[in-house]
Amino acid sequence: MKMKKPIYLDYNATTPLAAEVIRAMQPYQRLKYGNPSSAHAYGNEARFAVEHARAKVAKLIHASPDEAECLVRGHSGL
């Protein structure tokens, strides 16, 4: 008997990533991994990426970029 693929319901812990998200994040996971809170070149590049992403999310929800919060430690929210 062939087993059916299980249904994943623990989205509070983690969620599957869409292919376009993986593609967008790869450079920052492999090459551009600076701390966006740091004042060096790697940090500046990461901070720019976070600010750019924040602006894109804000536009999607008809908000201003300063209204879109990026939280860390396994939590995210707006």
pTM above 0.75, yes or no: no
Per the domain annotation, does 6 fall within a domain? no
Average the pLDDT over 22-33 and give the result.
88
Per the domain annotation, does 56 fall within a domain? yes
Per the domain annotation, does 24 fall within a domain? no
Residue 65 has pLDDT above 80, yes or no: yes
Domain carrying residue 34: 30-78
Query: With contact defined as beta carbons under 8 Å apart, do 42 and 31 qualify?
Result: no
Q: Would you state the pLDDT for residue 78?
A: 46
Average the pLDDT over 43-66 and give the result.
91
Helices within the chain (DSSP H only)? 19-30, 41-60
Looking at every residue in the chain, the average pLDDT score rounds to 83
Number of structural domains found in the chain: 1
Per the domain annotation, does 35 fall within a domain? yes
The share of the chain scoring above pLDDT 90, in percent, equals 27
Give CA–CA dist 48/75, Å, rounded: 21
Per the domain annotation, does 63 fall within a domain? yes
User: Sorting pLDDT into bands at 50, 70 and 90, what band is 61?
Assistant: very high
Per the domain annotation, does 66 fall within a domain? yes
Per the domain annotation, does 55 fall within a domain? yes
Per the domain annotation, does 5 fall within a domain? no
